[in-house]
Amino acid sequence: VAVRNRRVTSADIAQATGVSRATVSYVINGVTTQSISEATRARILAAAADLGYTPYGPAKTLATGKSSLVLLVLPDWPIGYGINLLLDELEKQLATNGLSLVMHRLARPGERVADAWKAIGPFAVIGLGGIDDVEAQAMTRAGVELVTMTLSGTGAPAAIGRPQIEIGRLQARHLARTGHSVLGYAFPDDDRVVAYSEPRLEGVRLACADLGLAEPVVLTVPQDAEKAAMAVRQWKSRGVTGICAYNDQFALAVLAGLYELGMRAPDDLAVVGCDNDPAGRLAAPPLTTIDINLEQTARRLAALVIGAYKGQPAPQNDGPLASRLVVRRSAP
Amino acid sequence: VAVRNRRVTSADIAQATGVSRATVSYVINGVTTQSISEATRARILAAAADLGYTPYGPAKTLATGKSSLVLLVLPDWPIGYGINLLLDELEKQLATNGLSLVMHRLARPGERVADAWKAIGPFAVIGLGGIDDVEAQAMTRAGVELVTMTLSGTGAPAAIGRPQIEIGRLQARHLARTGHSVLGYAFPDDDRVVAYSEPRLEGVRLACADLGLAEPVVLTVPQDAEKAAMAVRQWKSRGVTGICAYNDQFALAVLAGLYELGMRAPDDLAVVGCDNDPAGRLAAPPLTTIDINLEQTARRLAALVIGAYKGQPAPQNDGPLASRLVVRRSAP
DNA sequence: GTGAAAGCGCTAACAT
DNA sequence: ATGTTAGCGCTTTCAC
C-alpha cells in the first residue's frame, strides 16, 4: 500500500471501472433521472469504497454553482450556553434539507466576515449581528442569501427580530407587579453589546414610566463580586429594591455582590436576569429570568434559509419572536 | 441599476478594463513575482470596486488545490463559556497566517463530520473530539491535515493532549492537603462526556490511593438543585467532607444542593470544580477550580496547523498541556 | 444505459 | 508588463 499524494478523483474511479466520469457522477449522486444498470452501479460503488474516494466539495460547488453550506456568523461577544439550543435546532433543520451548517466567529471587534464567506462561498449566511450594510450588499451581489436577526422586530426582507425592548418591559413589569417601586438596572460593562443593552434598558424605562414608577437607577456592573457589591450598596442607599440585569451573567454578578455583603435575594434586593442560562437555575437563590426561546429562533432562521434553498417565494413574516418570563426565587 | 443575475467574475473585470484575466488575478492577489504597471493596477482595482467584484472561494480553492479554511470540529456536548478563549486565540493565530477558521458542531451524537468537511474542502481539520479512526483516515486520504486533541497526552503525530487524569489528581490533592480525608466525586449525568469523566475520576482515585485515603464516594449529580441535594445528603451521611466535581457546571449543582439544604461550602462540604468557568467566579461562595488554559491549547493547535500550512517538517512535541489549580472560597 | 464534451471561476507556467 | 493556455474536479446536456 503505497502512500498516495494525489487526491482520489472521480476520474480515477471511472478509469478503474472502465466507465465514463459522467456515469460515476450519476451513481455517486444517486441521480434518478438517469437509469444505470445495477451491475455498473455496484462496480462503481465498490471501486469508490476501495479507492477511498471522497467527492471534492469546492469542485462540486463550482460546477453546480450552488453550495450546500450555510454560514452562521457569530458576533464577537462571548458565546454562552444558550447558543447550544440554537445550534442544535438549526443544525437539525438544515441537515434534513441537505444543508450543512458551519460557523464563523467574529473574533476581533469590527472584523469583516468577508474573509470567511468569500473563502467558503456558502449558499446562505445567517447573521446574528455584526454584519453591516456594506457587507450585506456585497453578499447579495455575490449571490449569497442573507438572513439576519434584527433588534427591532422589523428590517430587511429575510430578517426575523426579537424586540429587545420587550425584554426590559417584562423584567420591570414583573418587579412592579410583585411590589417593587424603585428599580435598578445592572448595565453590562461590555461595549460590544450596546445594541442590545440600550433597548433592554429602554424597555425598563418605558415600563417604569407607564406604571408611574421612578426612573430606574442605572449602574454599570462588572463581572466581579467586589465591584458588584459596590453597586449593590449604591442601589440600597438609593432605596432600590429590585434589579433588572442585562442578562443572567450580570444578574449572577449582582447575586455575588449581595453575597459579598452578607445580603441575599430577594429579601435585600430582588433580581431578574435574561437568557435562562443553566448557571442561573443553579444559583443561590435560583434566578428569575427571561427565556428568549432560542429553539423558536432557530426554526425561523432555518425556515428562511430552507425556503430560499428550495426556491420558494416571499418569506411570510411571522411577526416578532416572543420572550417569556421564568419566575424563580431571586424575584418570586 | 439593473438587477444582475450573474456572479461578477474576474473575466468581467478583465473585459471592462481591457486586460487579460491573468493580469486581473495578479492584481487582485497582489502577486509580487509579477510586476504590473501602476496604471493598470489602479484601473483594475477601480473596476473591481465598481462592479462589486468578489473572488469566488471554491474556484480559487479548486485552481490552487489548497484551501485557506481550517475547520474546527466541536463535539456534540454543550459548548461552554470556555470555548470563547479557545476560539479567540485560534482565530487570531490563524488569521495572521492567512487562514480562516470555521466551525462545525456535531449536533447529533454519532454524526459524521463527513458532510461538513467534504463540502468545505478545508486545508486542515482540528478535532476536539468525536472524530473516529475511519474518518481520520478518510481525511488524510483526501489530503486534509488532521490535528486532534487526545485525552492521554500521546497519540497521532499531529496531536496534542491534556492528561485528564491530572485534573482529578490536582483536585484530590488540594482537598487532601487542606485536611479532607474522605472525598466524594460528582459524576456528570451526561454520557457524551465519559471519555473525559472517567479519566478525571480515575485521577481522583489514584490520588486517594497514593495518599492513603479511602476510595472516593462517586455519585451521579444531575443539573438540578433538588437532586443534587440528595447527593449531598448521601455524601454527608457517609462522612464525606470534600467533593471533586467533573466540571464547574456540576460543581455549581453541588453548591445548589447545599443551598437547598441550608448548608454551605466549604464548612459543610468543600467543592472543587474544573474549567474555570466565569459563572464559578460569581458563585456563592466562589468556586475553587482547575484552569485548563485554553489559550495555550489554542496556540499549540494553531502552531500545528500553521506549521503544516507552511510546509514545515515534523511537529515538535511540546509535551502535554498543563492544568492549574485556582483556589477560591469553596475549597480554600 | 453510457459516453463525449463543454464549462463553472480562478491560477500559474510559459510566451511574448 | 501583459497575454495565452492549460488545467483544478465535477456536473450536465446531448448524442449515441
Q: Looking at strand D, which nucleotides approach a protein CB closer than 7 A? A: 1-5, 7-13
Name the residue with higher pLDDT: B114 or A47: A47
Q: A212: buried, middle or exposed (CB in 10 Å: 19+, 13-18, 0-12)?
A: exposed
pLDDT along chain A (332 residues), means of 10: 66 94 94 90 94 94 94 88 90 92 82 79 89 84 88 63 92 97 96 92 97 96 96 97 97 97 96 96 96 93 92 72 95 96
Q: What share of chain B is helix, strand, coil (3-state, %, to 5)?
A: 45, 15, 40
Looking at residue B314, its pLDDT comes to 59
Can you give the distance from the CA of residue B7 to the C1' of nucleotide C7 in angstroms? 15
Per-residue flag: B95 CB under 7 A of strand C: no
Between residue 146 and residue 185 of chain B, the positions with Cβ below 7 Å from nucleic chain C are none
Contact B105, A83 (CB under 8 A): no
At B231-264, the pLDDT tens digits run: 999 999 999 999 999 999 999 999 999 999 999 9
Q: How many CB atoms lie within 10 A of CB B125?
A: 27
Compute the distance between CA of residue A119 and CA of residue A125 in angstroms, rounded to an integer. Answer: 13
Query: What's the 3-state SS for B35-64?
Result: CCCHHHHHHHHHHHHHHCCCCCHHHHHHHH
Q: Which residue is nearest to nucleotide C1 (CA to C1')?
A: A36
**Model confidence band, residue B320 (pLDDT cutoffs 50, 70, 90):** confident
- pTM of the predicted model, to two decimals? 0.92
User: Using a CB-CB distance cutoff of 8 angstroms, which residues of chain B are in contact with residue A249?
Assistant: 278-279, 282
Looking at residue A318, its pLDDT comes to 74
Share of chain A above pLDDT 70, in %: 93
Q: Is the pLDDT of residue B1 over 50?
A: no
Q: Is the pLDDT of residue B122 over 60?
A: yes
**Model confidence band, residue B4 (pLDDT cutoffs 50, 70, 90):** very low
For residue B246, what are the β-bridge partners? none
Q: Of A115-119, B120-124, B182-186, B196-200, which range is least confident? A: A115-119
Between residue 284 and residue 323 of chain B, the positions with Cβ below 7 Å from nucleic chain C are none
**Model confidence band, residue B3 (pLDDT cutoffs 50, 70, 90):** very low
Looking at residue A5, its pLDDT comes to 62
User: Using a CB-CB distance cutoff of 8 angstroms, which residues of chain A are in contact with residue B67?
Assistant: 58, 119
Compute the distance between CA of residue B181 and CA of residue B188 in angstroms, rounded to an integer. Answer: 22
Share of chain B above pLDDT 70, in %: 93
Q: Is the pLDDT of residue B2 over 50?
A: no
Answer whether A121 sits within 8 Å of B91, measured CB to CB. Answer: no
Name the residue with higher pLDDT: B108 or A4: B108
Q: Which residue is nearest to nucleotide D9 (CA to C1')?
A: A59
Q: Looking at strand C, which nucleotides approach a protein CB closer than 7 A? A: 1-5, 7-13
State mean pLDDT over B1-9: 63
| DSSP designation for A43 | H
Answer whether B225 sits within 8 Å of A282, measured CB to CB. Answer: yes
Q: Of A44-48, A108-112, B59-63, B285-289, which range is least confident? A: A108-112
Among partner residues A7, A277, A279, which is closest to B143 by beta-carbon distance?
A7
Preceding amide of A285 cis, omega within 30:
yes
Looking at residue A141, its pLDDT comes to 86
Per-residue flag: B21 CB under 7 A of strand C: yes
Looking at residue B315, its pLDDT comes to 63
